[in-house]
Each structure stands twice: as C-alpha cells, then as structure tokens.
Amino acid sequence: MNELLALFIKYALVNNFILTMFLGLCPFFGVSKRLGDALSMGIAVTFVMLSASVITWLIAHFLLIPFNIQYMEIVVFILVIASFVQLIEMFIRKTSVSLYRALGIYLPLITTNCAILGIAEINFREGFSLLGSVASSLGAGVGFILALAIMSGMRERLEISAVPESFEGLPIAFITASLLSLSFIVFRGIGL
C-alpha cells in the first residue's frame, strides 16, 4: 500500500508531468486560459491516461512479453492509444450529449498528447505492476490537473496586467510557468 502511495506522490508532485517532465505542454499552454476549460481537459486527460495505462499493461504482459516482441512497444502502444481514444469519443457522442460537449472536443487533441504515451512508456520501462501502473497514472493525472488549474488562475490575472508588448501571449506564459516550476522544486525534498 505504501509503495502505491509513494508512486502516486512521485508522479503527482515530485516528477510533475508538466512542470518537471514537460509532458503534455500543448494543452498546458493551449487550454489554460480559463479555469473551467482547464479542469475539463485535466479530467479528460486523467481518464485517458488511466485507461491507457491499464490497456497497455495488459497488452505488454499478455502479448509483447510472452511472444518476446518487446521491440514493437512504440508501434503497438501508439496504435492502441489512438484507436482507444477514437472509441471513447464515439461512445461518448452516442451516449451523452452533455458529456460530449464538456469533454468530447478535447479528445482528438489527446491522441497526440505526449503525456498519454509518456505514462505508458514509463510504466513499461520501469516495470510497474498493474496496481503500480494505476497508481502512477492517477498520480500523473492529478499532478496534471493541479498544474493546469494553478496556471489557468495565473493566466486569468495576466490577461488584465500590463505585459511588455513583445512578451504578450506565449513568452509571458513560459516565464510564468518557469516560476511555477521553481516552486515545485521543493517537492524534491520528499524522500521516496
């Protein structure tokens, strides 16, 4: 149990996906302008990360390893993730209109989000168990939501502040992210 908690904290705070590993930067800068959008995107990413971790774990341990074809990991993982995201999108569109409005528009963006393939690769390379993969992907998802929520709050304030002309938009967002990342360095003190 302690081990799972340690994995959760490791990927939520110490190795925060956005602020220390730079995975999933596109949505981080793309949809962090309003808190509501940021939360929807964060929940969608967490859900896909969790399911993709479980699916890729099953495929790795029941298909790749028994047949000794681990070198196919990249091709197999990306195909599975892409088709899985398509499937969820179709499922949500058919079953719930309101859920589709809230999350659906983010799903196509998620396929090429490095956070998803990133967590699948980390689980595979570190050799986590199934429960370990669940814990690490939940941690990564929570860390992702946390970073996105804080960033959106800061960017809402940035909109009304006087930024030098050449730093408007992306440059000032990067500098804000730098300060945010600096504050996450304290979590390195946690010994896991």
Q: Which is nearer to another protein, 83 or 96 (CB)?
A: 83
- Residue 8 Cα distances to 54, 98, 138, angstroms: 15, 31, 7
Per-position DSSP letters for 31-44, written without gaps between them: S-SSHHHHHHHHHH
Number of residues that bind another protein (CB under 8 A): 41
Residues 28-87 that bind another protein (CB under 8 A): 29, 71-75, 78-79, 82-83
As measured in angstroms, the least distance from the Cβ of 142 to another protein is 19
- Among 121, 129, 154, 156, contact with another protein (rule: CB under 8 A): 121
d(CA 46, CA 128) in angstroms, rounded, equals 18
Binding mask 160-179 for another protein (x = CB under 8 A): ----x-xx--xxxxxx-xxx
Can you state the percent helix, strand and coil of the chain, rounding each to 5?
Answer: 80, 0, 20
Pair 24, 147: CB distance under 8 Å: no
Judged by DSSP in three states, 15 sits in coil
Q: Which is nearer to another protein, 1 or 159 (CB)?
A: 159
Binding to another protein by residue 154, rule CB under 8 A? no
Residues contributing to the site for another protein (CB under 8 A): 19-26, 29, 71-75, 78-79, 82-83, 112-114, 117-118, 121-122, 125, 164, 166-167, 170-175, 177-179, 181-182, 185
